[in-house]
Structure 1
Amino acid sequence: MLTYEESQDESERLLIGTKILEGTHYVMHPNGSAMFAVKIGSPSFELFPFDDTNGEDFEYSYAGEGIAKGYGFRYPGYKPGSLFVTSKGLLMFVWKETRVVLTLQRLDLEDLLKKGVCVYLLCLHV
């Protein structure tokens, strides 16, 4: 789930990516965890860190932080990263240190329902 929030001092807007569904029995990041937060008021000029981009063109990038597990996830913290926005509508958050990529794709639920398509995790919660 993506939400916008004002920073505590109201100087900038943040885009927060929160995990709401778990697709496997293994839970590294509990539901409700803020997976990343990026400052959307001032785009960065960070380059996507991989040569192979699968034909994606990157339109924007934003600096931020993403959750990183601590000792057994008892002491989670945040590490620097960047959110990249592609021309095809994908969002990719990349942690700088580990270069792990979290990819998000927007779903048009109304269109999917009209077509009779069932997205497994969403259908479990209908």
Structure 2
Amino acid sequence: MAPGSSWGTIRSPEPRLEQVLLPYKHEFEVAVPEGVAVHGYVLSYEIWNAFVRVNIALIDTPLGSIHDRPALRLADGSDARLVQGNGGGGERFSALSASFARPAPQTVTLGLGGGMLGKPDGKVSFTPVMELEIP
């Protein structure tokens, strides 16, 4: 490195929130492959310039199952790439948030069964929860 120079950081533009969509208090109860019923609510989803973030609450479903992780299935049957996911809670109430790479405008299917990388594989079945519109 030349004297007087410093390491620069390569920065991408800051993420920009475009729209928060509330899906009319969407309640769901689905049976996952282990035969367990998962009950919850889709609280909202956010459209950002580079990703889509989905917020879910689970009722009486402790976190920890590979089948309680959110996944986003595109119209062509492929899955959106998980960018970040987190969650927490206890036995009675758990909150999940998952961010996926923003797909082109289309209708996508939010489901459970995201597996370790946010998309189902041969060991994890996708269980649909609701349709979401991506503008």
After TM superposition, the score normalised by the length of structure 2 is 0.28
After TM superposition, the score normalised by the length of structure 1 is 0.30
Q: Which has the larger radius of gyration?
A: 2
Q: When you count helix as a share of all residues, which structure comes out higher?
A: 1
Q: When you count strand as a share of all residues, which structure comes out higher?
A: 2
Which of structures 1 and 2 has the larger relative contact order (alpha carbons within 8 angstroms, sep 6+)? 2
